[in-house]
Amino acid sequence: MYGDKISLTIEDILNKDFKIDARGFRPQEVDKFLDQIIADYNEYNNMIKEYRREVSLLKDENTRLKNELRRLKDNISAAEGSSGGNVSNLDLLRRLSQLEKVVFGDNKNSE
């Protein structure tokens, strides 16, 4: 299940049968089984700590990458704005006015 780190499964614990002698369960057998359970619990705790640390690192990296993406998008928008990629209506009207002067300016003067 988790490699060699975890030795017992849920089914192993649920289906465990202890041998019974004259005074009940054999204490050595029960102690040995409980030692296995304790070892597995310790390993689970270690795995949980490691996974939490990984999740924290991944969250930090995700936040950093989102901020970098946002910064790059802002840089692209600024570059497009300065290079004329985004043309406003006012810019279009000015250009049209200049074109009309060039195209029709000579015709108006000759009339």
Report pLDDT digits (tens) over 15-30: 888 788 778 888 888 8
Closest C-alpha among 31, 48, 39, 53 to residue 6: 39
Residue 3's pLDDT band (cuts 50, 70, 90): low
- Residue 111 pLDDT exceeds 70: no
Q: pLDDT of 28-79, one tens digit each?
A: 888 888 888 888 989 998 999 999 999 999 999 999 999 999 999 888 877 7
110/61 Cα distance (integer angstroms): 69
Q: Report the phi/psi class of residue 26: left, alpha or beta, with left for phi > 0 and alpha for psi in -120 to 50.
A: beta
